[in-house]
């Protein structure tokens, strides 16, 4: 084949002023292979050779190193009827590893043990009456849940916990250490990573993420977003948040605050929003707006929304009307996002995950009219596949990230 083959395509390296060395090459290739093994159930070596553009020997060496570190196992080849020696299958191992993930919301907290495949091995939830809760109390709750899940000394059962990820309904600095503002919890400038770290020991790294951002991460890697390179996730309950994936990477913004889609101004003659602006999308498509449209108490919370969903399923005309109006406003914000990003897919999570079924028709037909050049063909906006677990799975991904970037660090 010779050099003329040269793997074509883009360089695979990002333009930057940082130099690259041979260690970087190894790390990058290990990471690429591990990444492929994570999404597919099992991959043959020859598939890896083709996908990476590397040679058989290089792939062999890389897999050997991953096996050595207990991240990958090789299983017998499958004779698939093709000619020639069958290729050995490589599979993600990671049976001895897991991430511990937490979710801090206004209604309570949740915790899960998640494996490298993004599967929830065990989880636990604790509800509290909605409202602001001091940080210390929330962290106490986390510790309680972790104990419930059997977390002892950096491990759960025979799985070593490689890191702790926390999803919070608030803005988080891009270093994943500090909660800058969580309006519904009434937190501001909380060094959450340090507080959690203090309770779980120094051996385990703690990373925080905005709940919509981590939801996006989860749906992108294991859910409805699958292998899309450009994706938008819209989630939330009272407050509406968004997670944006461009070219396979989360968009952070200047300081980690990107994705505040709930505060896109969509209605100049709308209500005053908690943020001080007027007619934010959140005031039109948030939980309170939905309840108001259905003639219920705005503060009814998730329980009221569930009753509404039941009524809709039973064909209650007034409730269906409320959903239709709600869908109209949802479409307006979605048109904005779609026209600006031209995403491959928009995933509706959080409250919208439940509601989607009842608004899909309205939203889709509105978007056909309002998206530029009709780019929002049906199927661009979909409901999330991970439902309530999305945030926990995404938070676990935060914890796994260092391992994924540098699989054989130690």
Partner DNA sequence: CCCCATTTGTTGTAATCTATTACAAATAAA
Partner DNA sequence: TTTATTTGTAATAGATTACAACAAATGGGG
Of residues 206-245, those binding its own copies (CB under 8 A): 230, 242, 244
19 part of the interface to DNA, by CB under 7 A: yes
- Rounded Cα distance, 52 and 122, in Å: 34
36 binds, among its own copies, DNA, none (CB under 5 to 8 A by kind): its own copies
35 part of the interface to DNA, by CB under 7 A: no
Yes or no: say if 179 and 168 are a contact pair by the CB < 8 Å rule: yes
The interface mask with DNA, positions 73-92, x = CB under 7 A, is: ----x-x-xxxxxxxx----
9 binds, among its own copies, DNA, none (CB under 5 to 8 A by kind): its own copies
49 part of the interface to DNA, by CB under 7 A: yes
Yes or no: say if 262 and 334 are a contact pair by the CB < 8 Å rule: no
Distance of CA 325 to the CA centre of its chain: 28
Q: What angle do CA 350, 127, 173 make, to 5 degrees?
A: 55
254 binds, among its own copies, DNA, none (CB under 5 to 8 A by kind): its own copies
CB neighbour list of residue 277: distance below 8 Å, 6 or more residues apart: 263, 265
- Contacts of its own copies in 35-94 (CB under 8 A): 35-36, 51-54, 58
Can you give the C-alpha Rg of the chain in angstroms? 23
402 binds, among DNA, its own copies, none (CB under 5 to 8 A by kind): none
Q: Out of 13, 55, 127, 306, which residue is the one contacting DNA (CB under 7 A)?
A: 55
C-alpha distances (whole Å) from 36 to each of 25, 49, 64, 368 are: 17, 11, 16, 35
- Rounded Cα distance, 402 and 31, in Å: 10
Shortest approach of its own copies to residue 148 CB, angstroms? 34
Q: Out of 38, 42, 51, 53, which residue is the one contacting DNA (CB under 7 A)?
A: 53
Q: Of all helices (H) and strands (E), which one includes residue 281?
A: helix 281-285
* Residue-by-residue DSSP string for 68-102: HTTSEEEEPPP--S-SSSPPPEEEE--TTEEEEEE
Q: Out of 332, 347, 381, 399, which residue is the one contacting its own copies (CB under 8 A)?
A: 332
Taking CB under 8 A as the binding criterion, the range among 67-75, 196-204, 276-284, 292-300 that sits at the site for its own copies is 276-284
137 part of the interface to DNA, by CB under 7 A: no
**CB nearer to DNA: pick between 29 and 371:** 29
Q: Out of 58, 120, 275, 324, which residue is the one contacting DNA (CB under 7 A)?
A: 58
- At 42 the three-state DSSP class reads strand
Residue 287 has phi, psi (to 5 degrees) of: -55, -45
Q: Out of 31, 46, 339, 388, which residue is the one contacting DNA (CB under 7 A)?
A: 46
**CB nearer to its own copies: pick between 133 and 266:** 266
Shortest approach of its own copies to residue 354 CB, angstroms? 24
Q: Which two tokens stand for residue 35?
A: 């990444």
Q: Out of 4, 11, 57, 129, which residue is the one contacting its own copies (CB under 8 A)?
A: 11
- At 184 the three-state DSSP class reads coil
Residue labelled with tokens 């991240």: 71
Q: Write out the residues near DNA by the rule CB under 7 A.
A: 1-3, 5, 19-23, 25-26, 29, 44-46, 49, 53-58, 60-62, 77, 79, 81-88
């Amino acid at each position: 084949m010779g050099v003329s083959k040269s793997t074509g395509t883009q360089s695979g390296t990002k333009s930057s002023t940082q130099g690259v060395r041979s260690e970087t090459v190894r790390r990058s290739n290990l990471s690429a292979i591990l990444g492929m093994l994570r999404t597919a159930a099992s991959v043959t070596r020859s598939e890896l050779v083709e996908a990476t553009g590397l040679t058989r020997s290089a792939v062999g060496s890389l897999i050997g190193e991953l096996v050595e570190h207990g991240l990958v196992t090789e299983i017998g080849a499958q004779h698939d009827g093709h000619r020639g020696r069958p290729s050995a299958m490589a599979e993600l191992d990671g049976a001895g590893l897991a991430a511990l993930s937490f979710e801090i919301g206004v209604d309570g907290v949740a915790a899960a043990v998640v494996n490298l495949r993004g599967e929830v091995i065990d989880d636990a939830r604790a509800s509290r009456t909605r409202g602001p809760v001091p940080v210390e109390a929330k962290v106490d709750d986390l510790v309680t849940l972790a104990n419930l899940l059997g977390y002892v000394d950096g491990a759960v059962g025979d799985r070593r916990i490689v890191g702790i990820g926390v999803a919070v309904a608030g803005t988080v600095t891009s270093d994943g250490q500090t909660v800058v503002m969580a309006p519904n919890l009434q937190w501001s400038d909380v060094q959450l990573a340090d507080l959690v770290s203090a309770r779980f020991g120094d051996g385990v790294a703690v990373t925080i993420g905005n709940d919509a951002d981590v939801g996006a991460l989860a749906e992108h890697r294991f859910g409805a977003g699958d292998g899309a390179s450009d994706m938008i996730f819209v989630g939330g309950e009272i407050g509406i948040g968004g997670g944006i994936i461009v070219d396979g990477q989360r968009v952070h913004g200047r300081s980690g605050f990107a994705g505040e889609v709930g505060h896109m101004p969509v209605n100049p003659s709308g209500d005053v929003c908690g943020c001080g602006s007027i007619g934010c999308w959140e005031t039109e498509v948030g939980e309170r707006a939905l309840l108001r449209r259905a003639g219920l108490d705005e503060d009814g919370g998730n329980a009221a929304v569930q009753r509404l969903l039941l009524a809709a399923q039973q064909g209650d005309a007034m409730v269906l009307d409320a959903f239709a109006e709600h869908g109209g406003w949802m479409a307006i914000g979605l048109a904005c996002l779609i026209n600006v990003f031209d995403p491959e897919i928009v995933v509706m999570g959080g409250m919208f995950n439940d509601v989607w079924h009842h608004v899909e028709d309205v939203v889709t037909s509105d978007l056909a009219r309002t998206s530029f050049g009709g780019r929002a063909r049906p199927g661009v906006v979909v409901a999330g596949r991970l439902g309530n677990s999305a945030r926990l799975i995404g938070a676990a991904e935060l914890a796994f990230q260092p391992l994924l970037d540098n699989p054989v660090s130690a």
